[in-house]
Chain A
Amino acid sequence: MKARIHITLKNGVLDPQGKAVEHALQTLGFAGVDGVRQGKFIELDLTETDVAKAEVQASEMCEKLLANTVIEDYSVEIV
């Protein structure tokens, strides 16, 4: 099964790249974009077949390496 992991900067942590993208969208004439947060998407192929266990494993990987929890939030989706 696969683990799909989204990592974004925490709310309250300034995201200058997101701000720059937001500004560029506005410059291109896309109205109505109220905010942009840029992040990472990581997909893992896991040998685990139990969804709950896979979720625990992927979360542990986020805590230990994939995300820096000082500045980032992560979410795990098992598919």
Chain B
Amino acid sequence: MKPAFLDLDPDARRVPVRFAGETLMLPEGANLAAALLAAGVTVLRHTPVSGAPRAPYCMMGACFDCLIEVEGTVRQACMMEVAEGLEIARPHEGSAR
């Protein structure tokens, strides 16, 4: 299936980023949440209450639904930029998943 999102700038320089154990090539300096969506990632985390899947919702740092874990710290993907070698995990799920 095609990703739900289309990237209008496919020529940007791409760098490897690890997300939940998978290597993705994402545009350097791009908004991380947007880059993950464009790469076909649909679920960024599962809620601690019911385990329901979640993905970016507001894209402006207000809703906290795009939480990810980077180097042991839970952060908002929509408030970060793509950098080479980022190691991202779904929060509290460990880097292998």
Partners in one complex: no
Report B's interface with A, CB cutoff 8 A: none
